[in-house]
Chains A and B, each alone.
Chain A
Amino acid sequence: MGFAEWLKGLQRRLGRTTPQLVLGHRNLYILPSSFGGLWLLSCVALYLMGINGGSNSPVLLAFLMAALLLLSLFLTHFNLQGLKLQVHPQRLSFAGQDQVYAIKAISKTWRPNIKWRWLQPGAPAQQRQHIRPGQQLVELRWHPPQRGRHLPGRLLIHTTAPLGLFRCWCYWEPPEPIWVAPARQQGPVQLFVSANNQTAKLSSAPNKQSGSDLFEELRPWRSEEGLQRIDWKARARGRGWVVKGFSDIGSSELWLGPDLQLPLETALEHLCDRLCQEAAAGKAVGLRLPDSTKLPPASGRQHLERCLKVLAQLPLPGCS
């Protein structure tokens, strides 16, 4: 086994994949930083300067610096020790957008200058954050590679506070997946409107029901209908007593699917955008995919997420 594989195996063992990580002696590593090394050299230089120059003030300063060095070993360790990290449900994101990966951090004390970095190539630059006592969400920038369900990878958490003499770090691989839907792009999609599960193109007449959503017709007024529904404007123009009739398309169902004339990825991007639009308008839509996956029409955020997850998970072209 080559050294590289051994190193990889070691790294795999170092990265912890539990949903909750309590930082402590078992998973924290600490070594002097390069600045700490220079600091130690300076201590020695000051001490020599003091004893050879016959002055005690450099000696005192050397002792002070050495004591601070040793003390900051503990202080730096304290800065991470006891910090509790938990996975947190991730927001769904769209490909090509910058995404944040949220981690719940629970701390009893104030922890300054904790730095976070994803260890993948091309990951965003390191972030630093001061952790307050209590619970909080740490939002880490994260570049989604492409649509799909992804694990965020290995996270390096490190700190050099309070003096920068030691560097204390640990690794964590949060097991909470993050969903990346296709990028949103406006464009044509395939629409199906069905009544009683009878699928048809939009041109077919929707199933009508009296309601208040769609203006449907004008019909003569009957006295039991009350004054509210009379079309007073028409009355003023002398068209007589007429009533505006409305209808709901409640039971008619709107289904969306990718436009098959376009490349699949582009079609999915259009579909993604359309789904978001419909959801924002509060309409119930269903999803119908070429591989005969169907999601019945519904509205609400949870439904939208379900739809987008399905889109995210479709096999990528080129993969079987």
Chain B
Amino acid sequence: MTEQLQSAIHQLSQVLLGKEHQIRLAIACLLAKGHLLLEDLPGMGKTTLAEAMARCFGLHFHRVHFTSDLLPADLTGVAVLDSVSSQFQFQPGPMFCEVLLADEINRASPRTQSALLEAMANGRVSVDGCSHKLPHPFIVIASQNGLDQTGTSPLPESQLDRFLMRLSLGFPDRQAEAAMLSEQHLPLEALNTGLSAADLEAAQLSVSQQHTSTALINYVLDLVATSRLNANGLSPRAAKGLLKAAKAWAFLEGQSSVTPDHIQAIFSAVAEHRLDGGHRQNQPLSKSILEQVDGFR
């Protein structure tokens, strides 16, 4: 399984050149059953990554471009009156898919955002008093543009907490950009990893069964306690997320035990957006926390 995932990551990094670390993190996020937030300037490949992730596991995906006039019903779907039978029939919206690519999520109104996030948390939507179950797996890969963009409603801190990871891709290095310009990258459509949704589910199960020792849990507790000494502490959900993501990372590395190294590898992706409350700092807060807590366990 790990080999297959490795080869998938290899292929994905052919699509998105020079971004192997981010791809690994994104895959780990998927394996940990977490939702992913991609944040960067326009044109950095956010959407490509999101789509590649979905294609990688052959998942059924929808892409929704969020705008300010997007209504919750536009996502969930509505009950439509069937003129023949004169009965309401539920017409599912784009949310009914395995991977929802929410482009520019911060452009939608808070009402729409919260509808999406509620669905993310519960795995079901209710329309006109009827509850509809979302497919399984259901993963939201949201992208948002960098801040200080006019006409946006940034995700509130409480909503940010629901995303397991926040990644930003950053500019590619010169070599990667050169390869891209000379069209050496793999087109998205050519992606064929041979992995299926069932494979993903099996991998998710293995990840959740990874053993975590008390020493590791103590490390996570210390990190969380240290973060709470500052203004925005990490929530218990964040602590749980840290452990899940570290398990997934260890699984990707092909290791049976989770060590502080794995926690450190995913820490900034999992913790940073919860620590800075959506306002990026010049000095990563997560890094200073890692430096304060004894890594020897």
CB-defined contacts of B111 to chain A, threshold 8 Å: 212-213
Q: With A227-B91, A232-B88 as given contacts, are A212 and B80 in contact (CB-CB < 8 Å)?
A: no
Residues of A192-230 at the interface with B, using a CB-CB cut-off of 8 Å, are 210-213, 226-230
Query: Are B70 and A212 in touch, CB under 8 angstroms?
Result: yes
Query: Are A282 and B156 in touch, CB under 8 angstroms?
Result: yes
- Count of A-B contacts with CB under 8 A? 59
Query: Are B229 and A212 in touch, CB under 8 angstroms?
Result: no
Query: Are B110 and A282 in touch, CB under 8 angstroms?
Result: yes
Query: Are B229 and A88 in touch, CB under 8 angstroms?
Result: yes
Residue of A nearest to B69 (CB): A210
A228 partner, pick from B73, B110, B226, beta carbons under 8 A: B73
Residues of A238-287 at the interface with B, using a CB-CB cut-off of 8 Å, are 246, 248, 282
CB-defined contacts of B292 to chain A, threshold 8 Å: 135
Query: Are A235 and B226 in touch, CB under 8 angstroms?
Result: no
Residues of B within 8 A of A (CB): 68-74, 77-81, 86, 88, 91, 93, 109-112, 156-157, 222, 225-226, 228-229, 231, 292
CB-defined contacts of B157 to chain A, threshold 8 Å: 301
A134 within 8 Å of B (CB atoms): yes
Query: Are B112 and A212 in touch, CB under 8 angstroms?
Result: yes
Secondary structure dominating the interface of B = mixed
Query: Are B109 and A236 in touch, CB under 8 angstroms?
Result: no
Per the bound structure, the CA–CA distance linking A210 and B228 in Å amounts to: 41
Query: Are A212 and B71 in touch, CB under 8 angstroms?
Result: yes
Per the bound structure, the CA–CA distance linking A227 and B73 in Å amounts to: 10
Query: Are B91 and A89 in touch, CB under 8 angstroms?
Result: no
Query: Are B74 and A211 in touch, CB under 8 angstroms?
Result: no
Query: Are A228 and B81 in touch, CB under 8 angstroms?
Result: no
Query: Are A236 and B81 in touch, CB under 8 angstroms?
Result: yes
A232 partner, pick from B81, B109, B112, B225, beta carbons under 8 A: B81
B68 partner, pick from A88, A211, A227, A282, beta carbons under 8 A: A211
Give the Cβ gap from B240 to chain A, nearest Cβ, in Å: 22
Query: Are B69 and A227 in touch, CB under 8 angstroms?
Result: no
